[in-house]
């Protein structure tokens, strides 16, 4: 009888050791499934249709960079740069790859808010919120402090195979274009 008990005990310890490994693995798998990619990520044509922003997860928030431009150069044939930036040292930064969205946090209603958006056409930054209004439409709202005086735009989802401007720009580098220190904090990012 002791022998049978020993076998049962050994069987139980094998059972317990198998589940001791299996149970944490199931929790980890559940955690991976819970961390889904937000539907707002991907490539989005801006409201003008002349540019596209790629929205990606940045830690626990969303951010976005210009990934496509209809025109890579201005009327004089010079590469587009962030010439209206409030920081003179950043005015030679290429528009392609420029971060224009950041700090967007998930809200309980499914939208993202408390972030910022930068408009390189004016050199101005605003508080920002985004929300899907349809699977292929993103409402982008810019405001200063309160949403009462906000302005919203509708961005449309761009195809994933859209040619990236950084690969196009690499084929014809900008002569004399300066670069800003990538680790330099954007003036509007620390709101």
What pLDDT, on the 0 to 100 scale, is given for residue 70? 95
**185: which residues sit within 8 A by CB, 6+ positions away?**
none
First to last CA, the chain: 73
Spatial distance between the Cα atoms of 142 and 2, rounded to a whole number of angstroms: 76
Pairing of the two strands 137-144 and 42-45: unpaired
Spatial distance between the Cα atoms of 118 and 116, rounded to a whole number of angstroms: 7
Per this entry, what is the length of the chain? Answer: 191
C-alpha dihedral, 140 to 145 to 182 to 172, nearest 10°: 40
* Beta partners for residue 143, in sequence order: 127
Pairing of the two strands 61-69 and 124-134: unpaired
Mean pLDDT by 10 residues, the chain (191 residues): 46 46 41 71 97 97 97 93 96 96 96 97 97 97 92 97 79 38 42 43
* Beta partners for residue 42, in sequence order: 55
Spatial distance between the Cα atoms of 15 and 29, rounded to a whole number of angstroms: 21
Spatial distance between the Cα atoms of 130 and 104, rounded to a whole number of angstroms: 8
Q: Where are the beta strands (DSSP E) in the chain?
A: 42-45, 51-58, 61-69, 99-106, 112-119, 124-134, 137-144, 146-157
Half-sphere exposure of 66 (CA within 13 A, CB side): 28
What pLDDT, on the 0 to 100 scale, is given for residue 167? 73
């Amino acid at each position: 009888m002791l022998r049978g008990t020993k076998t049962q005990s050994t069987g139980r310890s094998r059972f317990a050791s198998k589940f001791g490994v299996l149970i944490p693995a199931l929790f980890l798998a559940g955690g991976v499934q819970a961390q889904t990619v937000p539907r707002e990520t991907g490539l989005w044509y801006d409201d003008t249709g002349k540019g596209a922003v790629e929205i990606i997860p940045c830690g626990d928030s969303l951010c976005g960079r210009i990934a496509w431009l209809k025109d890579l150069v201005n009327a004089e044939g010079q590469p587009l740069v962030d010439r209206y930036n409030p920081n003179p040292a950043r005015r030679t930064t290429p528009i392609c790859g420029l971060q224009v969205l950041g700090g967007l946090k998930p809200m309980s209603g499914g939208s993202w808010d408390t972030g910022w958006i930068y408009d390189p056409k004016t050199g101005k930054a605003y508080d920002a919120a985004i929300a899907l209004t349809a699977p292929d439409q993103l409402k982008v709202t810019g405001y200063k402090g309160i949403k009462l005086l906000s302005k919203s735009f509708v961005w449309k989802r761009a195809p994933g195979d859209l040619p990236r401007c950084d690969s196009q720009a690499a084929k014809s580098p900008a002569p004399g274009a300066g670069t800003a220190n990538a680790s330099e904090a954007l003036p509007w990012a620390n709101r």
